[in-house]
A and B are shown apart, each in its own frame.
Chain A
C-alpha cells in the first residue's frame, strides 16, 4: 500500500508557478528522497501535504484516504526550519508537541537522549545553536513513534559529526520498517540513505522511482596514447562499452557500473599495436548525473 499519493498537484504563488502537475506515490517502508536544487518546489510540496499551504489544484491521499489532523498526528514532520516557542525550554516545547499529537508524553526524555540534547533540555530554545534547534526538531518528530517521517533538509545547519549521526538515525528508523520522506538538495545524502527518489526542477517532476533506476550510474574509463587516431580505431573493435567520447587529451569509454575491465582494455590495445600512456577508471558521480538530469 502507498503511504502517500499525489495527484496532479499544482501551486501558484501569484503568477509564479512553484509546482506543475506533480504526481507520484511513496510506497510503504521506503526512504523516499525528494531531490532538487534550491527553489525547485520541495518545501512547497511538503507544505501542501502538511496542510500548511493550499494547492491551486490537485489532490493527495495519505494511506489512500483524504488528509486529516488525525493522520498528521501519525506523521513526524520537520519542515524547513525548526519552529518552537523561543521563551520555552526544549523539554516544554516537546511537551506542547506531545499534547497536540495526543501521545509521546512519556517519551520526551527518550527522544532527547536520542538526539543528544538531554543535558540541555531545561535551557530555553532561544539559547540553542542552529544544530541543536535542528536536533530538537528531529526529536519532536520522533515523539509517539510515528509510522511515517517527513524531513525537509534534515541535516541543515549540522556539523559533520551531527550530519553523520542524523544519517545513522534515519537509517535506523528506516530499518524499523518506517517510511521516510526526505527533501534534500544534497545528492550524497539521498544516495546514502534513500531507496526511492523523485527529482524536482522548477516545479516539474523530472523523474521518480527507485534510486538505482532513476540515477543510473556509469563507469568511465579514460584512455590516452601517443597516437590518438589509431587508438580510436583500435577501440572500435573493443566491445562492452556503451558510449565512446573523444576529448582533447583522452578518449572516454562509458561502461555500465562494474563492467569496466582495465586489464582487458590494456591487452586489447597492446595487441592492436598501441601502447597506452594513460589508463584510468573514473566513477561517474551522482552529481554529474543529477546535473545532466536537471539540465535537460
Chain B
C-alpha cells in the first residue's frame, strides 16, 4: 500500500491546482472559525444582550471543552471542498484515461480503486488534523478556558463526516466520470438537495431525515448553541449509537459499491 500511495504522491506532487485548493481549504478551516469566533465574541460582550447571550452561547466562545464541538461543527460546512479535491484527483484519471494506463502497466483494478479510497482517508485525516489544530488555537487563546479533552469525541465525529464526504465523492466520480457533472451534482446534493430531502422526510415521514447519507453524520455534530433551550423545545435526543452505526454502514456501502463498480466496469 505504501508503494501505491507513493505513486499517488507522484501524481499530485507537481499538480498545482491540487495544492492551491488544498492550501486555501486548510486556511479556510481556520478562517471560517475565526469569523464565527468574532461574531460570538461580539454577542457575548454586548452589554445590551446581557444574560440572553450567555444563555444563547452557554459560556465564553471557543472555550474548552466546548471548542471541540464548536470547531468541528463550524468546519464541517467546508467539507464539500474536501470532496472537491477527491473528485478532481479521481476524474482526472478518467479524463486523461490514465486509469486505463495504470491497469495496463500492471496495477490491478482493486489496487487502483482501494488506493483512491485510501486517498479519501488521507484527505479526511489531514482535514481532521487541521480542525484539531484550529480548536487548540482558539481554545488556548479564548478567555476563561482551561485545557480539557472533554467532548473530544466531536473531533472523531468530524473525521467520520469528512470521510463520508470523501468516499461519497469517490462514488460520484466513478458514477459520472466527468469532473464538471460530478462536482455539480456533488455540491448540489450535499449542500442543497439532501437538506431539502431531510426537511421533507422530517415533516412527512416522522423525522426520518436523519437516516440520509450526509445527514446521518451531520446528526453527530449538532448545533452547539442553545443546548438548554433546545432540550426544552425538542426533547428527542440524538441517538449517537444509532447515528454512528448508520455512518459506518454508509461508509461500508460507499467502499463496497465503488470497489465493485470499478472492478466490473469496462474502463
Contacts and interface: CB of A to CB of B under 8 A. Distances in A.
Contacts of A100: 7, 102, 105-107
Contact of A83 (B100, B106, B109): B100
Interface string B85-106: 0000000100011101111111
Interface in A45-83: 47, 50-54, 68-70, 72-73, 77, 79, 81, 83
A81 B107 CA distance: 19
A97 B6 CA distance: 12
A191 to B, nearest CB: 27
Contact of B106 (A54, A70, A79, A95): A70
Interface stretch (B11-19, B23-31, B196-204, B249-257): B11-19
A72 B103 contact: yes
A54 B103 contact: no
Interface stretch (A23-31, A84-92, A192-200): A84-92
B6, B97, B105, B108: residue with the most chain A Cβ atoms closer than 10 Å: B105
A244 B23 CA distance: 80
A121 interface: no
Nearest to B102: A100
Contacts of B264: 54
B10 A97 contact: no
B10 A73 contact: no
Given A52-B266, A83-B98, A84-B96, A73 B105 contact: yes
A52 B106 contact: no
A100 B108 CA distance: 10
A292 interface: no
B233 interface: no
A50 B103 contact: yes
A96 B112 CA distance: 13
Contacts of B106: 69-70, 72-73, 100-102
Contacts, number: 79
Contacts of B266: 13, 47, 52-54
Contacts of B105: 72-73, 77, 97, 100-101, 140
A97 B97 CA distance: 14
Interface residues of A, number: 30
A96 B7 CA distance: 6
A86 B96 contact: yes
A84 B101 contact: yes
B111 interface: yes
B10 A87 contact: no
A99 interface: yes
Nearest to A11: B266
A69 B97 contact: no
A56 B106 CA distance: 22
B241 interface: no
B11 A85 contact: yes
Nearest to B101: A83
A54 B101 CA distance: 16
A85 B98 contact: yes
B267 interface: yes
B265 to A, nearest CB: 8
B101 A97 contact: yes
A69 B104 CA distance: 8
A50 B104 contact: yes
B16 A87 contact: yes
B94 to A, nearest CB: 11
B96 A92 contact: no
9 contacts: A52-B103, A53-B267, A83-B98, A83-B100, A84-B96, A88-B14, A92-B14, A100-B102, A101-B105
Interface of B: 3, 6-7, 10-11, 14-17, 92, 96-98, 100-109, 111, 264-267
Given A51-B104, A87-B15, 11 more contacts: A13-B266, A47-B266, A69-B103, A72-B105, A81-B97, A84-B101, A85-B11, A85-B98, A95-B10, A97-B101, A100-B105
